[in-house]
Amino acid sequence: SCQDSEQLKYEQYFSEGYTLYTAYCANCHQADGGGLADLYPPLLRPELAHDRARFICIVKHGIADTLWIDGKRYTRPMPGNARLPDIEIAEITTYVLTKWANDSTYTSIETVTQALAACQ
């Protein structure tokens, strides 16, 4: 293959992220990222890529607040998954932001570690 190491890493993270998303996220956010009624928000939002650090913090620590997105209220809290290691959060983030936020870069482990250190 003529791919460089960064492209190979991106493809690996995307592939692993799909598997992890299916195991941990799809039950609520659905396989197509469309969310579930007024309970769980869709992930089909390009703005997710603009606040990667917040997305990472939510994956790890969850969110207890009611969310308002585009004038719609989502009432179910999202439990965090404190057991996910940084690599798996990087892979989930890469998958979600590529698939539904039109992002074309992979999320590095270093990015996850920095974001989690800054979480409130």
What integer pLDDT is reported at residue 1 of this predicted model? Answer: 54
**DSSP run (H or E) holding 79:** strand 78-79
Between the alpha carbon of residue 113 and those of residues 36, 60, 63, 73, 117, the distances in Å are: 30, 11, 19, 31, 6
Phi then psi for residue 76, to 5 deg, are: -90, 130
- Check if the beta carbon of residue 86 is closer than 8 Å to that of residue 72: no
Q: What percent of the chain is predicted at pLDDT more than 70? A: 98
Q: What percent of the chain is predicted at pLDDT more than 90? A: 59
Question: Residue 92 CA to chain centroid, in angstroms?
Answer: 5
pLDDT digits (tens, 9 = 90+) for 83-106: 999 999 999 999 999 999 888 889
